[in-house]
Amino acid sequence: MTKMDRTRPTLRLIDDSKRQRFEPSPPKTTQQDCHPSMAFDELSSKIDFESLIASGEELSRNFHGLACSVLAQIEKNGNVRLVNSLIAAASASTDTNQLRLWFSLFGPVEFVDGKAKYKPHAQTMIEAAMATPFWTIKPDE
């Protein structure tokens, strides 16, 4: 059995994404201590929603960059196992159906029983994938 080399950048990024998922930082507040008996209106005025939104957008951009790195690895060596790892590392708020569709549209990837499979003779469109974040893909309904 071969060991995974955790020094490779893509695997480290996936591990970091998993850590962020399971160790979320609390939303910033203007006051350090929020008493549990505080009214919702009082609490919502103290939470820095702009910071919360900005951190969510930054996380989405980082995740998109990671997906592009995985796509580049698929183009380089045809290994789609990283796609499955990335989908497993996605947070609950990430629409994995959009992510799967994004990989299918821009890379040689197809999904069989929820797992990524390499699709031979398909092209990888890295530049288009970099310009199109996966959350902007709308699945056909």
pLDDT confidence of 32, banded at 50, 70, 90? very low
Query: Is the predicted pLDDT of residue 116 greater than 90, yes or no?
Result: yes
**What does the domain layout of the chain look like in residue ranges?**
9-26+37-136
Query: Is the predicted pLDDT of residue 128 greater than 60, yes or no?
Result: yes
CA distance 75 to 80: 10
Residue 125, by phi and psi: left (phi above 0), alpha (psi -120 to 50) or beta?
A: beta
Mind listing the pLDDT tens digit for each residue in 48-99? Answer: 667 767 777 788 888 888 999 999 999 988 889 999 999 888 877 778 888 9
* Cβ–Cβ under 8 Å, residues 27 and 47: yes
Q: How far is CA 61 from the centre of its chain?
A: 8
Mind listing the pLDDT tens digit for each residue in 86-103? Answer: 988 887 777 888 899 999
CA distance 64 to 134: 7
